[in-house]
């Protein structure tokens, strides 16, 4: 029984370590989007607006889409974990919980990164880097808030839906 518990704990540690590496890379990619936004809109080689001018109302709609992605991320994460916690067979619980947690966390981070990408698109269309700065900052805060934690995986393995 002790060997099985150590094996399970090792798998939990491995899953959280994998997610930490991927999530760090996603945070860095959001930082890269900010640098690109600055370079394109106001850096030394500023290219100006790309394409026809974007109406202000449409820019605000795009901003709302970015905010919607940020709001959807924790909702999707929670729903996927609730489904994983409802797994009936105990022998499948560990595998299902680990894979569901991994997938839910990655999907939530992808949605958050999508908000920063929407900010970059708005910056390219309006030549105003503030769109990317704001959505990227919100995305990074949301990523830190939703960072994968070992306690969440342990709770999920116990059949609970982590908060």
Instruction: Determine whether 82 is exposed, middle or buried from the number of CB atoms within 10 Å of its CB (0-12, 13-18, 19+).
Output: middle
At 161, the pLDDT band (50, 70, 90 cuts) reads: low
pLDDT tens digit string along 10-57?
888 888 999 999 999 999 999 999 999 988 887 666 666 666 778 889
What is the percent of the chain with per-residue pLDDT over 70, rounded to a whole number? 84
Sorted by where each begins, the domain ranges of the chain are 2-157
Q: Which residue has the higher pLDDT, 119 or 95?
A: 119
- Locate tokens 């994998």: which residue? 18
Q: What is the pTM of this model?
A: 0.87
The token pair that represents 56 in the structure block: 């202000």
Rounded to the nearest 10 degrees, what angle do helices 130-145 and 56-85 cross at?
A: 10
For Cα atoms 101, 105, 110, give the angle at the middle one, nearest 5 degrees: 150
């Amino acid at each position: 029984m002790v060997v099985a518990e150590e094996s399970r704990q090792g798998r939990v540690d491995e899953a959280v370590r994998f997610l930490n590496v991927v999530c760090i890379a996603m945070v860095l990619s959001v930082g890269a989007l900010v640098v690109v936004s600055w370079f394109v809109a106001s850096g030394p080689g500023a290219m100006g607006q790309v394409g026809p001018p974007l109406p202000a109302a449409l820019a605000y709609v795009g901003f709302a889409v970015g905010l919607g992605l940020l709001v959807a991320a924790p909702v999707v994460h929670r729903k996927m974990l609730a489904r994983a916690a409802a797994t009936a067979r105990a022998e499948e619980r560990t595998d299902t919980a680990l894979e569901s947690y991994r997938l839910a966390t990655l999907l939530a981070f992808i949605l958050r990164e999508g908000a920063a990408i929407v900010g970059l698109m708005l910056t390219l269309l309006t030549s105003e880097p503030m769109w990317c700065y704001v959505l990227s900052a919100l995305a990074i805060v949301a990523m830190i808030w939703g960072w994968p934690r070992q306690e969440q995986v342990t709770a999920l393995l116990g059949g609970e839906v982590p908060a």
